[in-house]
Amino acid sequence: MRTGQHDPFPFRYIDPRMKSESEVIVRPARHVRGGVSLPGDKSISHRYAMLAALADGPSRLENYSTGADCASTLGCLRSLGVKWERRDGSDNVIEVQGTGLSLTAPSKRLDCGNSGSTIRMLTGIVAAQKFASEMAGDESLSRRPMERVITPLTAMGAQITSQNSRPPLRITGAELRSIDYKMPVASAQVKTCLLFAGLLADGETRIQEPLRTRDHGEVALRAFGAHLERKGNEVRIRGGQRLRGIDVRVPGDLSSAAFFLCAAALFPGSQLTITSLLMNPTRARLLDILMQIGLRISVTQLEEIHGELVGTLQVAGGKLKGATIAGADTAALIDEIPVLAAIAPYMEQGIEVRDAKELRVKESDRIASIATNLRALGAKVEEREDGLKIPGGQSLRGAELESFDDHRIAMAFSIAALRAHGETLIRGSECAAISYPAFFSTLEGLIER
């Protein structure tokens, strides 16, 4: 049953018996105000956990991501003989006992859940182990392309079979040899996979990217004591290096912050503070684009923690303009494009997204998902093979939308719904737990009506 016009609660979950999905109803807002500290960055949490597993000695990871994807990584590591536990009565403080580069053969299939990061990056590690393993995931993950890691790892000496280049992956580990590899697709996950494999291989591995992608793999490896060389879009790593455990706090997730930043951008009177947020230069292009659109952002308390920049954002809403996202910007903003596109109709000039074909092979076909939901809200949108063109100056009306079992689509359209006329119902909203289980309650605490 849908909420009434005068219901005081902005979000209402509907969890019918006999149904496996949940729904959330979003009502229009007037302002976004307050402060928030976000769970640890997903990209960094995955990488820290994997490297902590390979290190000599223990590691303590504070503010580890609370999302289901990063829990999948921990589950796979436990199946590979890695001992870890939650400490201090908290879900986000993880202590990992490193194994010193050698893992244990799993007794069952490694369940990667919905996490493309887990299966792609961990494959680079298990490919170098002296045992066979199988990696699989849910229905969504089983549709995602894996040839981009299968091809280079096979060239390094691993044996990998798949279902038409999709999971499950059956991997027979081997003593890997180094490789010089030019990546055909810009992907930080693939780059990290090959860096991890290169760490465990014989000789020096060289990886060349077509476009610069986020560098959390390189930064994390250095934090654990590895030496890498970078020149332009090329990175090199020498095999056989030992890692040491670290004690570190994971910075707040910038991709999660994007939703709250875009919510603040919708309302000129909004004021928002986000503390201890990741400010990595290969991710911070989001902030440049938001300021270009019209959001006022200032950064304070900037510091470096194990090679990652961390700071506090002070944000004020402004008049929204518009933007074109293409080329290197598309690669840098691949996770944030859904929410930028979702609010594009409210901008003066809207948004054009190009060179984003990669969005079609995410948890959903995100180009199609965005276009479908925008049209349901009454927006005009041009869907293209590699992107979208969304005119500005539009008014949206509340509607019934689908999440397409994609966490970023569910969260993105909860933001778009804040300025629509009338209530919006989003089906399958529970998928937000993939990256941010507390997303809807956190957003509710920042909204004024």
**Active-site residue, selected from the candidate residues 335, 386, 405, 406:** 335
Beta bridge partners of 247: 60
CA 178 vs CA 5, 104, 193, 236: distances in Å: 63, 23, 13, 10
For 390, residues 6+ apart whose C-beta sits below 8 A from its C-beta are 341, 344, 345, 350, 351, 352, 374, 379, 380, 381, 382
For 82, residues 6+ apart whose C-beta sits below 8 A from its C-beta are 53, 96, 97, 98, 99, 103
Q: Which amino acid is at 80?
A: L
- As a residue count, the chain comes to 449
Which contiguous run of DSSP H or E holds residue 236? strand 234-238
Instruction: Look at residues 365, 331, 329, 336 and name the one whose alpha carbon lies nearest to residue 183.
Output: 331
CA distance linking residue 52 with residue 61, whole number of Å: 9
CA 43 vs CA 109, 277, 299, 446: distances in Å: 23, 13, 22, 25
Q: Which amino acid is at 139?
A: E
Integer Rg of the chain from CA: 21
For 386, residues 6+ apart whose C-beta sits below 8 A from its C-beta are 354, 355, 356, 357, 367
Instruction: Look at residues 368, 369, 321, 370 and name the one whose alpha carbon lies nearest to residue 346.
Output: 321
Q: Which amino acid is at 82?
A: V
CA 235 vs CA 196, 215, 219: distances in Å: 12, 10, 12
Backbone angles phi, psi at 86, to 5 degrees: -85, 135
Active site residue 335: yes
Instruction: Look at residues 11, 29, 2, 31 and name the one whose alpha carbon lies nearest to residue 441.
Output: 11
Instruction: Look at residues 444, 438, 447, 440 and name the one whose alpha carbon lies nearest to residue 39.
Output: 438
The catalytic residue positions are 335
